[in-house]
Amino acid sequence: MRRILTPTTDGLLTTERLAMATLQGVPTTPSLTHSGRTIAVATLLLFGAGATAGAQSREQRINIEAFRDSIGRGRDTSSLKALERHLIAVAREQRADPMVHLRLGFLSLRLGDIGGRSHYEEAASEFQWVVDLQPRWPYGWFGLGLAEFGVGDADMPLVQGLRTMLGKDALTRAANAFARSAEVDPEFVDGLVELANTALQQRINSRADVALAALRRAAGTPAAGHPAVMLARGQVERAVGSLDSARVALDALLRIQPGNARALREMALVRFAKGRLDGGDPWYRGVAIADAGAMAEYLTDIGPVLPDSAFRLLDVASLAERVSILRRFWTMRDNDELHRPGERLREHYRRLDHARRNFRLVTPNRQFDIAERYRSRQTEFDDRGIIYIRHGTPDDRAAYNIPGVEPNETWRYQRDGDDLVFHFVARQDVQDFRLVESVFDVLGFAATVALRGGSDSLLQSDLVNGLLRSREGIDPVYSRLLGAGRGGSAQLQTAERTLGRLSIVEGTSSDSWRPRFAESLPARIETVAVGQDATGPSLQLAFAVPGSALSGKPSSAGFVYPIRMRAVVMDAQGRMVASIDTTRAFVTSIEVPAREHLLGHAALRVPPGDLTVRVALETDDAGMVTSRDTVHVAGGGQGIGLSDLAIGSRTVQLPWVSASGDTAWANPLATFPTTLPLQLYFEVTGLARATPYRIDITMARPRSGSVFRRIFGGNGAAIRVGFEGTHPGGIAAVARTISLAEIKPGDYVLEVTVTDQAGNTATRRRNVSVVR
């Protein structure tokens, strides 16, 4: 007859009672005291299950799960250790009982989770005992995999890296154990899920193929319908490139759990991997409902580009607010780089996937030496991965691979100003490339110091010459270094190191995705904030493409030249306020001569204020993107306002008609012959009707040059014109023709200043090049 034992007042069974329960096969109810409350530790049979041949019974599995659930709620190590002592005593008497060793193993895992690596080693020993006794029980292999996770790897990065490459690291050991749990029982949900998770975490020697085989083998079992298994199937199918199979698994999961944030994220990744833009829909829906665990996965994905300020906002944001924060983050990047909505997020996941396949660290333990100024907190990717995720595929790469020189690479990203140039070297680990400031750092700290000290023998060595020649295509400074003397070399070394240092600062704190074209288009683009009417201000966009860069398509009407123009205008907060994406087919009766230009114009309605403009121009064969241009759009406030200056020439046939009916001219080439007058147009706003004002127009050489010229007036105005007027209210359109016949060829600054009767002024300037 069974009887229930009553816990003692301290919540623990005495050794005598425990022993009696063991002998009689009675269920025990030891308890743990936690925070003043009594928590049940085991409510089913603790001992007496005995070793049985073959598969693990359902009753045994329920027993173990109940035991795991109960100890998982306790954090009082003294009570857990007391229970451990009791179980050890029983194990001495019942060495051949795998259930006793399973409980000891899971109890040791719990103690290890609370604190103590040695407990994981003890757990591994207990689970090894189980698999020796019952190799067809999945829980023994499952527990062994968890224990291997806990034991981890060697602390030394070099040792850990070698073990990983040899398949002896903790993840591989754990994956092998989980694989055995799924092999002996294809319906074992925990084993299938942990096998999949482990395979996805492995940095090299991934067991994704083993996980996929196990998941597919379980397809005909009840485990296949478990949400965790369905998610794991989708994740592993995607990881191995079976995107359609991944979509099928995730579709099935989302039919039964439409609010599964992790499944929504995974579905987004599948769509992105297929090149689709609609991956953003499930991605944002997942963000809107993600709990802390699921949100951590999203943040791990975007962490390499998300600034600290955005992390802080997300920490305190509501569910709806965090969607708004992230949507604004990605939309601003789409707009700034002239991409369609959703393209930047898709590109981020393409980069992330590439980095995980090519730049993943073998071990997360990184140590830095004194020469490495940049010290990343990233533990998943080496520094190449960080730069790649932020800026994508480099425009140029170079390396210098000879015996005795550490593995190295240099990447260049083309920019309108100074290019970004990054140098990487792998010293401690061939898989861990670190950012360094100079290509000379590849040679080591001592060689770098010697070179900066002017060591002639080293400067002229084959080693240094070979290194510099390998980088000649990256930047002109390396060609100059090859031919520089001792003094010149020191200056050039400083300039080269400064470029690398500034590139690291810029490259690790920003991200970019510039539109790329097969060929560069040598077009000129003019952006002018002028052309206001009753509905508001306008922005005029004019371009000129040389005939030498065009290839017309013959047609019945002559030749057709398709030109695509994209432009985006953003306010000071980074919000898009205007955009255009249009393709226009220009038709000419003859081919555009190589030394002439194809001209075009478009207008955008914009709000007043300081705006940022970016324009892209494309033909079938080439393209170009302007740098960010800041314009001030007058209007919308009290006080005098002056538009940009529209300047043109009748030799450049690019006129447009203003709201007042005046013809204004554009000239994106900004060159004007002395034989024809310059056409000037601008608008004055912000003054009441009948208010007097004065306009002064000057054209002078730029304020630069020698001290002699500045002292003796060499920068005097070549043209000075002034006149007065009365404002009509609203918009005063001013058009003037300026003769250049007496102007010497050269560069000038055209300046217009408007002054009201109170002495308030507004000034605008344009650079002008006068030619014969």
Question: Do 100 and 88 touch, CB atoms closer than 8 A?
Answer: no
Does the structure show a pLDDT above 90 at 580?
A: yes
Q: Could you read off the pLDDT of 607-624 as tens digits, one per residue?
A: 999 999 999 999 998 999
Q: Which amino acid is at 700?
A: A
Parallel, antiparallel, or unpaired for β 597-605 and 538-546?
A: antiparallel
Distance CA 405, CA 427 (A): 10
365 — pLDDT class (breaks 50, 70, 90):
low
Higher pLDDT, 162 or 39: 162
Higher pLDDT, 6 or 441: 441
Highest mean pLDDT among 43-47, 221-225, 752-756: 752-756
Q: Which amino acid is at 315?
A: D
10 — pLDDT class (breaks 50, 70, 90):
very low
Distance CA 722, CA 717 (A): 13
What residue segments make up the domains of the chain, in order of their start? 1-151, 152-257, 268-358, 366-507, 520-633, 635-772
Q: Could you read off the pLDDT of 42-85 as tens digits, one per residue?
A: 323 333 344 445 678 888 989 888 998 888 876 778 888 889 89
Q: Do domains 1-151 and 152-257 have the same CATH topology?
A: yes
Assigned superfamily of 635-772: abc- transporter (atp binding component) like domain (2.70.50.60)
Distance CA 644, CA 621 (A): 33
Once rounded to an integer, what is the mean pLDDT over residues 584-596? 94
pLDDT in the model for residue 19: 31
Q: Which of 187-201, 365-379, 703-717 has the lowest mean pLDDT?
A: 703-717
Q: Residue 753 belongs to what H/E stretch? A: strand 746-756
pLDDT in the model for residue 37: 28
pLDDT in the model for residue 636: 59
From residue 44, alpha-carbon distances to 56, 67, 109 in Å are 16, 8, 20
Distance CA 530, CA 733 (A): 10
168 — pLDDT class (breaks 50, 70, 90):
low
Three-state secondary-structure class, residue 74 = coil
Once rounded to an integer, what is the mean pLDDT over residues 299-320? 94
27 — pLDDT class (breaks 50, 70, 90):
very low
520-633 CATH, one of 3.30.70, 2.60.40, 3.30.460, 1.10.1740 = 2.60.40
Mean pLDDT of the chain: 84
CATH fold of 1-151, please? Answer: 1.25.40
Does the structure show a pLDDT above 50 at 162?
A: no
pTM across the whole model: 0.79
Question: Do 262 and 291 touch, CB atoms closer than 8 A?
Answer: no
CATH fold of 152-257, please? Answer: 1.25.40
Distance of CA 373 to the CA centre of its chain: 22
